[in-house]
Amino acid sequence: MKIIKRSGAEVIFDLSKIRNAVIAANNSVGEDRRMSAAQVEEISRNVERTCEQMGRAMNVEEIQDLVENEIMAKRAFEVARSYITYRYKRALVRKSNTTDEQIMSLLEFDNEEVKQENSNKNPLVNSVQRDYMAGEVSKDITRRFLLPQDIVEAHEKGLIHFHDADYFAQHMHNCCLINLEDMLENGTVISETMIERPHSFSTACNIATQSIAQIASSQYGGQSISLSHLVPFVQVSREKFHREVEEEFRQAGLTLDEEKIHAIAEERLRREVKQGVQMIQYQVITLMTTNGQAPFITIFMYLHEVADGQPREDLAMLIEEVLMQRIQGIKNEKGVYITPAFPKLIYVLESDNVTEDSKYWYLTELAAKCTAKRMVPDYISEKVMKELKKGDCYTCMGCRSFLTPEDSQRNPDGSRKYYGRFNQGVVTINLVDVACSAKKDMDAFWRIFDERLELCHKALMCRHERLKGTVSDVAPILWQFGALARLEKGEKIDKLLYNGYSTISLGYAGLYECTYYMTGKSHTDPDGGTEFALAVMQHMNDACAKWRAESNIAFSLYGTPLESTTYKFAKCLQKRFGRIPGVTDKMYITNSYHVHVTEEIDAFKKLKFEAQFQRLSPGGAISYVEVPDMQDNIPAVLSVMKFIYENIMYAELNTKSDYCQECGYNGEISIVEEDGKLLWECPCCGNRDQSKLNVARRTCGYIGTQFWNQGRTQEIKDRVLHL
C-alpha cells in the first residue's frame, strides 16, 4: 500500500509514522488524560484498515484527517487538540512557501501526481518540467491573492473546479478556432517576420504549422483549423505546375498537348499535396510548444465548406490524403508505426458522403478504416448540427468546446462568423457533491445547486476580469495578425470578450452519480431518472441564460472532459461523504452526461439516449461508443457512422491501439492491480515499463499517449463494450 506525500511523491505506507504521531500527541497531555497503549494501537490499525479499503493511494492530509477522527472517537479531546495544533503549526510553516517541495520533487522525477496529470505531457522532459515549475508558481499566486478565498476553498474541497489555474496568472484564454483563411490570404507575422500570401500549397502548409505552434504557445487550450482554408493553394500549385510543364514542353520542342500537360501537372500536384499533408502531420507531432507538448490541434474536414466543382474536388483530395497518412500512422523510436495523439481529425457526415450511392462515399469508407485502426476521425452530423446551430455546421475548438451561433458576429458575406472566435475559460460544478450535500432532500438539492452555480458564476467572472484590459501585444499572432483578430498595437482585447465574440463555459461533471444518489436510478431509467437528469441540465442552461442577459457575456454549458479532475473529485467526495455504493465508491466520477462506463447498453441506444443531453450542452459535448478491434468489420463501423448522421451531432468510436517495444506485441495492453495500484502490463511478455509501452486511449474526446492518473486508469479498466 502506498501514500502520496505533500510533495506529490509516492511512498510506501508506514504504520509506525502514524503510531509515533499519535504517541507524541498523547504524551503531550497530562497522564490522567492520556489514552492507553492499546487505544493508540487500535487507532493506528483502524487508520491502516481504512486506507487499505479505499483502494487507492491516499494523501497525507486525508490520513491525518482519519487520525483526528479516530482520536475524537476515543473521546480523547485534549490529545486531539494537541494533534490538531501540531498540524496547524506545520501548515503555517508550509504556507510561507507553498511551491518548494512540489518543484523539487518534480525535478527529481519523484512527483507521482504530476507524472499522471496530463496524458500528453512527459514530465521527464526539461521543457515540460519548466512548464510545470511555472505552473506551480502560478497556482500558488492564484491561490494566495488572485482568487477570492471562497472560490479557492470551493476548488480545494472539490465543490467546483477552477480549470487551468497554472495559467491563470497570465492573461491567457482557453481554446479557439483559428482564422487560417485570413492569415493565409491576407498575410501574417510570425516572430516579427512578415509572412505574405503563399505561392504554393506546400508553403501554405508550412505557414499553417508554424502558426499552430505559435498559437499553442499563446493560449492553454485546443485550437482547430479547417482543411478548406488550404484548398485555394491547391489551385495555386496546380497553375504553377501547369506553367512549368508547358515551358518544359516548349524548351524540348514538343507539341503543346494540353491533355498530357494537364496529366503531368496533376501528377506533380498530387506529390506536393502528399508532401504538404505529411508536413502538417509530422510538424504538428514533432513541434514542441512552450508548455512542453505537441500543439493540441484539430483538423476539420467538411466538404460543403467549399463551393461545388474544382474546390470541392480539391478538398476531397486533401481529405483522402490526410486519412491515408493517418491510417499509416507514425513511427515510434523502434521504427514501428503507431497511433499519434495529434492532430485530432473531425470528419463531417453529410448528404454527399453518407450513403453508398453518394459521390464521396469512398471518403467515408476510408474514414471508417482510419477510425478502426487509429481512433480518428471523430464525426459531426451536418444534419443534426444544422438543427441545433441555426442552420450552421462548423468545428469545435479542440476536443469538444463549441461556439454558439451569434447573429451579431457576421462575416463580410453575411454568414455567421466562427473562425477567429475563442473561449475565455471553464469552471466546472461537481454535481455529485451537490446531491450528496443535499442528503436526498429535493428542496435542499435545488437550493444547494443554486448556491454552487453562483460560486461558478463568481469564478467565471474572475476569468473574464483577468482577460479584461489585456493588450494585443501579449500575443501578436492572436490579436494583431489574424489568428483571432487584427487589433492595433496597444489596443485592448475587451471588445472581443462581449457580444458573443467569445464564449465562457460552465462545466459540469457526474450527472449519472448525481441522478443515482437523488433518485436511486440511473439517468438512463425512463421511470424518473431521465426526467430528473434532464431537469438538472435545463437548470444549468437557465443559469447561463440569466448570466448572459445580465452581462452580455456568452455563457454556455460545457460537458467537461475531466482528464485528471475525475480523480480529484472522487477523492474529495470520499473524504466528505465516505464510500457510497454506486456514487462515491470508485476512483473516478463520470464525465458530463455520459452513461456510466460499467452500464451495459448497446452502441445505438447509447448514442440515441445521449443525443438529448448533447442538445442541452450547447457549449461543448461529445459522445462515444466503446468498441473492440473493428479493422475486420468495417461495415459495422459504417453502420454506426450512419446512425450518428441521423441521430446525434458529435460522436466518436473508442478502439485500442497499443504496442510493446520489448516483445513487439501489437494489441491491447492490459491493466493489472498490484499493492493497491493499477499498472499497465503487456499481456505477452509482462513488460510494465511505461517508457517501453506505446499505449493510446481515448480519455475524454481526445487521444492520450502518456498514461493517466489512477482514477482515469480505473475508468479505462472498467469500460464495457457497446458493440
Average pLDDT over residues 261-281: 96
Cα–Cα distances in Å, from 176 out to 159, 161, 606, 691? 27, 21, 29, 32
Whether 175 is catalytic is: yes
Cα–Cα distances in Å, from 149 out to 405, 428, 455, 458, 565? 35, 17, 11, 12, 20
Element counts in the chain: helices (H) and strands (E):
24, 23
pLDDT tens digit sequence for 279-333: 998 888 877 555 556 788 999 999 999 999 999 999 999 999 999 999 999 888 8
Instruction: Return left, alpha or beta for 327; rule: phi > 0 is left, psi -120 to 50 is alpha, else beta.
Output: alpha
Location of C-alpha cell 471562497: 150
**pLDDT value for 41:** 92
**pLDDT value for 127:** 66
**pLDDT value for 261:** 96
Whether 10 is catalytic is: no
pLDDT greater than 80 at residue 251: yes
- Domains of the chain: which residue ranges? 1-96, 148-174+401-590
CA 352 from centre of chain: 31
Whether 520 is catalytic is: no
DSSP 227: G
Whether 401 is catalytic is: yes
State how far the Cα of 221 lies from the Cα of 564, in Å rounded to an integer. Answer: 15
**pLDDT value for 140:** 80
C-alpha cell at position 667: 494489441
Question: b/e per residue, 348-368, with b = 16+ CB within 10 A?
Answer: bbbebbbeeeeebeebbbbbb
* pTM of the full structure: 0.87
Whether 51 is catalytic is: no
φ and ψ at residue 557, rounded to 5 degrees: -90, 135
Q: Among the options 379, 558, 624, 645, which is catalytic?
A: 558
In the three-class reduction of DSSP (H, G, I as helix; E, B as strand; rest coil), residue 208 is classed as helix
Question: b/e per residue, 543-581, with b = 16+ CB within 10 A?
Answer: bbeebbeebebbbbbbbbbbbbbbbbbbbbbbbebeebe
pLDDT greater than 80 at residue 679: yes
pLDDT tens digit sequence for 412-425: 999 999 999 999 99
Write down the mean pLDDT value for the chain. 91
**pLDDT value for 77:** 86
State what percent of residues in the chain have pLDDT above 90: 69
Average pLDDT over residues 523-552: 97
φ and ψ at residue 709, rounded to 5 degrees: -70, 175
**pLDDT value for 647:** 98
**pLDDT value for 102:** 62
Q: Among the options 26, 118, 174, 218, which is catalytic?
A: 174
Average pLDDT over residues 496-503: 97
Decide if domain 148-174+401-590 falls under CATH 3.20.70.20: yes
Q: Among the options 111, 423, 623, 657, which is catalytic?
A: 423
Q: Is the dihedral of CA 132, 137, 140, 141 positive or negative?
A: negative
Average pLDDT over residues 496-501: 97
pLDDT tens digit sequence for 606-664: 999 999 999 999 999 999 999 998 999 999 999 999 999 999 999 999 998 789 999 99
pLDDT greater than 60 at residue 111: no
Q: Among the options 35, 51, 175, 393, which is catalytic?
A: 175
pLDDT tens digit sequence for 596-618: 999 999 999 999 999 999 999 99
C-alpha cell at position 284: 504538428
82 band by pLDDT with thresholds 50, 70 and 90: confident
Whether 701 is catalytic is: yes
Average pLDDT over residues 513-528: 97
pLDDT greater than 90 at residue 137: no
Whether 222 is catalytic is: no
In the three-class reduction of DSSP (H, G, I as helix; E, B as strand; rest coil), residue 416 is classed as strand
**pLDDT value for 97:** 53
Q: Among the options 62, 181, 305, 563, which is catalytic?
A: 563
Residue 2 near residue 676 (C-beta atoms within 8 A):
yes
- DSSP of 618-662: TTB--EEEE----TT-HHHHHHHHHHHHHH-SEEEEE--EEEETT
Which amino acid belongs to residue 666? N
In the three-class reduction of DSSP (H, G, I as helix; E, B as strand; rest coil), residue 602 is classed as coil
C-alpha cell at position 713: 486508469
State how far the Cα of 180 lies from the Cα of 229, in Å rounded to an integer. Answer: 6
